[in-house]
Amino acid sequence: MMNVQSFPGAALHSEERAREVDHPSSPVARFGVDQPLRLDCGVDLAPFQIAYQTYGRLNADRSNAILIFHALTGDQHVANIHPVTGKAGWWETMVGPGRPLDTDRYFIICSNVIGGCMGSTGPASTNPATGKLWGLDFPLITIPDMVRAQAMLIDRLGIETLFCVVGGSMGGMQALQCTAAYPDRVFSALAVACSTRHSAQNIAFHELGRQAVMADPDWRGGRYFEHGADPHRGLGVARMAAHITYLSDAALHRKFGRRMQDRDLPTFSFDADFQVESYLRYQGSSFVERFDANSYLYLTRAMDYFDIAADHKGVLAEAFRDIKTRFCVVSFTSDWLFPTAEARAIVHALNASSARVSFAEIETDKGHDAFLLDVPEFFEISRAFLHSAGLARGLSRAR
C-alpha cells in the first residue's frame, strides 16, 4: 500500500548505466598521465576522460562552434536518443535543424561534466590505480574544474575560439565561469536561469538531498557498488525534493491542483492519493534509472562552492573586466531557485565592466525549468541573440 520510496524502476537500466560510465556510446576524449587536470582541491586528476556529443558541421575556419553546458542532472545527450532511457535528448526544443541552436548552421558540442556518470570521469568510474570504482575516493570537484576539463576537450577538437557558450542553471554557471576564465576564447555567451554563486537557500536544498542519499541504508558509506546495492530510495527522494524547486506554485496548481490520482475519495493511507504525489514519485523513479548517487553528491557540492566574485576580492565586475564577449542573460519571472534579482546582478556587473550585454526577463509560470520547456519567447530571444552575434562574428549564412 505504501510505496513512496520503492522506486521499482531503479534496476530497469542498471546494466546500461554501468556500461556508459567507463565505455560510453558517445565519443570520448582521453587524457593520459602527461595531461593532468589540476583540480581546485589541489589534486592532479590523471588519467581521465570526457564523453561528448557533437551535432552539425564545423566550418572551414572553425568559427561556428557552440559549446553547451548541461545542468545538474543533464549529460551530453542533448539532441539524440539517450542510450540508457531511450528517451529524446534533454534540449531538443533548442537544438536541431531550424532550432535556435541550428545544427544546419552551427557546430554544437556538449560534454558530460567531470564528476558525472555518463562517460566522463567521476565517482562511478573505475580508478585506474586500484581497478575499483572511485566512489568517495574521487576528489571533490568545482565548477571551474568542469570548465577547465571542457577547455581541454575544445583544444583536443582543434577549436581555438568558441562562437558561443550556452547553458541554463548549472550550465549557466559554467558558461559564466568559462567567459571569466577564458575571455579571449569565447565570442558570445547565453546564460540562462543562473547566478554567479549559490544562495544559502539553494545550498540548504542541496544538503537536504545529500542527506537523503546518505541516510539510505544501501548507500553503505558511498561503497554501495561493492555490496551489489544502490541507494535508489534516498536518491529518489533527493530528486523529488529538488524537482519541487524547479517548478512554481502556479505551475503545480495548473498541472495538478488538489486532484486525486485514479480515485474519487482518499484511501486514508500513505499511498499516492494526489496527482502531484504520483508525479513526484515518477520523477524520483525515472531519475534513479540513469543517475549515480555519488555523482549527485559531487555535482551538488560543486554548485554550492561556486562563487565567481570570491576569486576577485568579492567584486564581481572584476571577474569580467575589459571582457570582449557579448552576453545575453535570461531569467524567468516564476523562477524562485535563481530569481531575476540574481540575473540583474550579473547584468550590473557586466555593465560595470563595460561588457556588451542584453537582458531579458520572460514572463511565465513554468518556474526554473522554463528553459527546458516550450517557451516561444525564450526561443526567439535566443535565436535573435545568436543571429546578431553571428553577424558580428562574420559567420557565413548568418541571417
pLDDT of amino acid 335? 97
Per-residue pLDDT tens over the stretch 32-66: 999 999 999 999 999 999 999 999 999 999 999 99
Using 50 as the pLDDT threshold, list the residues of the chain that sit under it: 1-12, 398-399
pLDDT of amino acid 16? 72
Q: Which three cell numbers stand for residue 187?
A: 565570442
pLDDT of amino acid 13? 55
Query: Partners of 66 in the beta sheet?
Result: 108, 164
pLDDT of amino acid 111? 98
| Bridging pattern class, strands 37-38 and 44-45 | antiparallel
Cα 347 off chain centre by: 22
pLDDT of amino acid 12? 46
Q: CB pairs under 8 A, 24+ apart, for 197-200? A: 197/306, 197/307, 197/308, 197/309, 197/310, 198/303, 198/304, 198/305, 198/306, 198/307, 199/342
Q: How far apart are CA 193 and CA 66, in angstroms?
A: 19
Residue with cell 550556452: 166
Peptide bond into 83 cis (omega under 30): no
Which 3 state secondary structure label does DSSP give 26? Answer: coil
pLDDT of amino acid 179? 98
18 backbone dihedrals φ, ψ, rounded to 5°: -60, -40
Instruction: Answer for the pair 338, 368: CB distance below 8 angstroms, yes or no.
Output: yes
Q: How far apart are CA 84 and CA 175, in angstroms?
A: 27
Element (H, E) at 294: helix 293-305
Q: How far apart are CA 290 and CA 70, in angstroms?
A: 15
Q: Which three cell numbers stand for residue 61?
A: 575556419
**Active-site residue set:** 169, 335, 368
Percentage above 70 pLDDT, the chain: 95
Instruction: Answer for the pair 70, 173: CB distance below 8 angstroms, yes or no.
Output: no
